[in-house]
Chains A and B, each alone.
Chain A
Amino acid sequence: MNVGVAHSEVNPNTRVMNSRGMWLTYALGVGMLHIVLLSIPFFSVPVAWTLTNVIHNLGMYVFLHAVKGTPFETPDQGKARLLTHWEQVDYGVQFTSSRKFFTIAPIILYFLTSFYTKYDPTHFIFNTASLLTVLIPKLPQLHGVRIFGINKY
């Protein structure tokens, strides 16, 4: 039990999103991504914003909703092995501050993107689709749900 660790926390992954400075680092990371995309001369401002939104949502989907389990062994005998990181946050307790923050962040990014793309229809379709891929898995009703058995094991 808890081999080699100095605390009685069963799954440290549950506390990572609450640690000091994580939210700031996340915001700075998104800002950095946006600046890099804005610096590429081929992209106009709307394209850069749409790309930021889409890449951010893609990254969030992969790391929070696709990758399952923990990158280290935990003493919980595999309870968290089939859970994505989002499902592991705070041991499955819904509506904690970290969950609220990471739900609101893509929404704010979506608002900014919609503004800077001047509500253009093509951009709108891409941005909305990408926002939905990242918002729907966060709903409490979808905790532990695997549609069509994708990503189940």
Chain B
Amino acid sequence: INHIVHNGGLYKRPFNEAFEETPMLVAVLTYVGYGVLTLFGYLRDFMRQWKIEKCQNATEREEQKDFVPLYQDFENFYNRNLYMRIRDSWNRPICSVPGAKVDMMERVSHDYNWTFTYTGRVIKDIINMGSYNYLGFAQNAGACQEAAAKVLSQYGAGVCSTRQEMGNLDKHEELEKLVARFLGVESAMAYGMGFATNSMNIPALVGKGCLILSDELNHASLVLGARLSGATIRIFKHNNMQSLEKLLKDAIVHGQPRTRRPWKKILILVEGIYSMEGSIVRLPEVIALKKKYKSYLYLDEAHSIGALGPSGRGVVEYFGLSPEDVDVMMGTFTKSFGAAGGYIGGKKELIDYLRTYSHSAAYATSMSPPVVEQIITSVKCIMGEDGTTVGKARVQQLAENTRYFRRRLKEMGFIIYGNEDSPVVPLMLYMPAKIGAFGREMLKRNIGVVVVGFPATPIIESRARFCLSAAHTKEMLDTALKEINEVGDLLQLKYSRHRLVPLLDRPFDETTYEETED
């Protein structure tokens, strides 16, 4: 059963999100796993201290042992005793373009992951389920690459200046006009780094005396930008509109903390797709709240631009809303466009203000010309202005891949988080040993996945995250699904009891657990 909420006609299509609860036995076993690892960690630390075992992490020199400690021993406990054991699932060196298939350099470790040596062999054609390559533009051949190569021979690789000095190329102007047209906003500005777009522009928009309402699971760049700005930050529960409305009401009724003065600005920070949960923001409700309480909305579409919507214009088009309702539309070119950098789109006055006052504009080097050309070509391809239907085909292929992959994984019995339409698919692993085992088993079967554990996620919610791509053909997905099925049986990962939490009248938070125990 999956009740679908229409919420007074705000949603034009069903909003299907599910976060199945952790089975109690699995939670208990996960804690037991962490407990055993902690006890063994203490034992190994004891042996290292008494020189029974060789100590391989950084320590001070003998003559410095009496000084104030340089390295915090206990803060490194998790790193030494848990992360080191499964470290080979991360930082894997790849040596080809990260498209649908990727080559990886094989490495082995003879001292339990403290050091790695390369065997010299290259593992070829690993199915890449980890790259943010949503529309498949991470290619080293094709129209985008040819255009970028031409621009490289014309403009060179470096710009050697900031936007405000000598680094404002005609290519940048062309890009910004194109991005504004793509998004449906008045004007846009592009920056060289997606992280820097958030962290350097939020301080330009809000300051002391303003209020930022940010989602629980916002990305580190948004958190950093919010903290740098000096505004008051209040956090609402993930995608929970009741929590957001309560915070808005409290803020407007009570004003600033001591002086009770009205807030200068209220800015709501949300993301289009949350990459660790695979959930999509409830944008119609956020916009309704924003209009009712007269606050501003900052939408970070890092993962959703190009990946959602019938023509790839992002989460605003997915819900059928108007881009004018979102005050600041931010996004990155790293994920769907196969390039690097970020943009901010909005009204002309806002973007002109940012051109003058943003730290990125004043101090950061502008984007490199071949990268700009890659973005221009890929955006034109998505919009269909290059004369082919390749862009539209890619967007449709991604949507089909998403639906197919999610449906098959749910049928197999895995617990999958997130919205039905999001191309980010987190598969729950829960136990710490399974994190390492899953990464290694999938690599043995020639599939590259990204796994995440504590403390990046809550302690019992470690997961493997698949990012689907338009470049994945159905055969690749079937191979991947077959291997995931095998590994799932081997590691006993099929926890789902098909008891999807029905979408109630209010969204999912910890108080809904009690009602669904039947």
- Are B216 and A6 closer than 8 Å at their CB atoms? no
Q: Are A24 and B72 in contact, CB atoms less than 8 angstroms apart?
A: no
Question: B217, B218, B219, B458: which contacts A19 (Cβ < 8 A)?
Answer: B458
**A137 CB → nearest B CB, Å:** 19
Are B75 and A25 in touch, CB under 8 angstroms?
no
> Using an 8 Å CB-CB cutoff, how does the interface string of B219-238 with A read, 1 for contact, 0 for none?
11001100100000001000
A105 within 8 A of B: no
Q: Is B454 close to A, CB under 8 A?
A: yes
- Assuming the contacts A1-B227, A19-B458, asked whether A6 and B217 have C-beta atoms less than 8 A apart, the reply is yes
B457 and A6 form a contact (CB under 8 A): yes
Q: Which of A20, A21, A67, A72 contacts B455 (CB 8 A)?
A: A72
Q: Say whether, besides A2-B220, A21-B27, A69 and B75 are in contact (CB < 8 Å).
A: yes
Kindly state whether residue A15 has any CB partner on chain B within 8 Å.
Answer: yes
Number of A-B contacts (CB under 8 A): 90
Determine whether the beta carbon of B220 is less than 8 Å from that of A12. Answer: no
Minimum CB–CB distance for B198 against chain A, Å: 12
Q: Is the CB of B214 within 8 A of A67?
A: no
Chain B residues within 8 Å of A19, by CB: 27, 458-460
Q: Are B275 and A25 in contact (CB under 8 A)?
A: no
B residues less than 8 Å from A25 (CB atoms): 27-28, 31-32, 35
CB atoms of B216 and A8 under 8 A apart: yes
Judge if B452 is at the interface, Cβ distance under 8 Å. yes
**A29 surroundings in chain B (CB, below 8 A):** 35
Q: Per a CB cutoff under 8 Å, which of B24, B38, B227, B452 touches A24?
A: B24
Q: Is B190 positioned at the interface, with any CB of A under 8 Å from its CB?
A: no
Q: How far is the CA of A73 from the CA of B290 in the complex (A)?
A: 36
Q: Is the Cβ of A16 less than 8 Å from the Cβ of B227?
A: no
Are A72 and B459 interface neighbours, CB within 8 A?
no
Question: B460, A20: Cβ atoms under 8 Å?
Answer: yes
In the complex, the answer to whether A21 meets B72 with C-beta atoms within 8 Å is no
Assess whether B454 is in contact with A20, with CB atoms less than 8 Å apart: no
Most buried by B among A15, A20, A72: A20
Q: Is B116 interfacial (CB-CB < 8 Å)?
A: no
Q: Is the C-beta of A121 less than 8 angstroms from some C-beta in chain B? A: no
- Cβ < 8 Å to A, chain B residues 16-36: 21-22, 24, 27-28, 30-32, 35
Q: Identify which of B28, B220, B460 contacts A1 (C-beta below 8 A).
A: B220
Q: Which of A3, A6, A71 contacts B275 (CB 8 A)?
A: A6
**A65 CB, nearest partner CB in chain B, Å:** 15
Is the Cβ of A71 less than 8 Å from the Cβ of B218? Answer: no
* Bound CA–CA A27/B32 (angstroms): 12
Across the interface, do B24 and A6 meet the contact criterion of CB distance under 8 Å?
no
**Taking the complex as formed, is B78 at the interface, i.e. its CB lies under 8 A from any CB of chain A?**
yes
A125 CB within 8 Å of chain B: no
Contacts of A2 in B (CB 8 A): 220, 223-224
Distance A89 CA – B456 CA, assembled complex (angstroms): 19
Q: Which residues of A contact B223 (CB under 8 A)?
A: 1-2, 8
Number of contacting residues on B, CB 8 A?
37
Interchain CB contact under 8 A, B24 and A21: yes
Instruction: Tell me how far the C-beta of B274 lies from the nearest C-beta in chain A, rounded to whole angstroms.
Output: 8
CB of A12 within 8 A of CB of B214, answer no
Task: Tell me if B113 counts as interface (CB < 8 A to partner A).
Answer: no
On chain A, the residues within 8 Å of B27 by CB distance are 19-22, 24-25
Taking CB atoms, residues of chain A closer than 8 Å to B480 are: none
B75 touches A70 (CB 8 A): yes
Partner of B220, one of A3, A22, A68, A72: A3
**In the complex, which residue of chain A has the Cβ closest to the Cβ of B233?**
A8
Q: How far is the CB of A6 from chain B (nearest CB, A)?
A: 4
Residue A4 is within 8 A (CB to CB) of chain B in the complex: yes
How near does chain B come to A61, taking the closest CB pair, in angstroms?
Answer: 15
Q: A21-B31, A28-B28, A69-B72 are in contact. Are A8 and B458 (CB under 8 A)?
A: no
B74 CB contact (under 8 Å) in A5, A9, A21, A69? A69
Give 1 or 0 for each of A62-81: 1 = CB within 8 Å of chain B CB. Answer: 00000111111100000001
Q: Complex: how many Å from CA A148 to CA B93?
A: 52
Complex Cα gap A17–B59 (Å)? 32
* Contact A71:B75 (CB < 8 A) given known A1-B220, A7-B216, A19-B459: yes
* Chain B residues, CB < 8 A from A4: 220, 456
Residues of A within 8 A of B76 (CB): 73
Q: Considering the complex, give the chain B residue whose CB is closest to the CB of A15.
A: B458
| Residues of chain B from 259 to 276 with CB closer than 8 A to chain A in the complex | 275-276
Which of B38, B72, B74, B214 is A8 in contact with, Cβ under 8 Å? B214
Query: Per-residue 0/1 for A34-50: is the Cβ within 8 Å of any B Cβ (1 yes, 0 no)?
Result: 00000000000000000
Please tell me if the beta carbons of A12 and B75 are within 8 angstroms of each other in the complex: no
Closest B residue to A13 using CB positions: B455
**What separation, in Å, do the CA atoms of A8 and B221 have in the docked complex?**
11
**Chain B 318-362 per-residue mask, 1 if CB under 8 angstroms from chain A, else 0:** 000000000000000000000000000000000000000000000
CA of A97 to CA of B350, assembled, Å: 47
Asked, given contacts A3-B220, A19-B458, A69-B74, whether A8 binds B31 with beta carbons under 8 Å apart, the answer is no
Could you tell me the distance between the alpha carbons of A145 and B75 in the complex, rounded to whole angstroms?
Answer: 22
Chain A residues numbered 46-105 whose CB sits less than 8 Å from any CB in chain B: 67-73, 81
Q: Which one of A1, A12, A67, A68 contacts B454 once the chains associate, using CB atoms below 8 Å?
A: A12
Given A8-B218, A21-B24, A72–B78 Cβ distance below 8 Å? yes
Interface residues in B66-115 (C-beta closer than 8 Å to A): 72, 74-79
Chain B residues numbered 270-301 whose CB sits less than 8 Å from any CB in chain A: 275-276
Point out the residues of chain A lying under 8 angstroms from B77, CB to CB: 71-72
Top-4 shortest CB links A-B: A21-B27, A6-B276, A71-B77, A25-B31
Interface positions of A (Cβ within 8 A of B): 1-9, 12, 15-16, 19-22, 24-25, 28-29, 67-73, 81
Q: A-contacting residues of B (Cβ < 8 Å)? A: 21-22, 24, 27-28, 30-32, 35, 38, 72, 74-79, 214, 216-220, 223-224, 227, 235, 275-276, 452, 454-460
Given contacts A6-B217, A12-B454, A71-B74, could you give 4 more A-B pairs where the C-beta distance is less than 8 Å? Answer: A2-B223, A20-B21, A20-B460, A69-B74
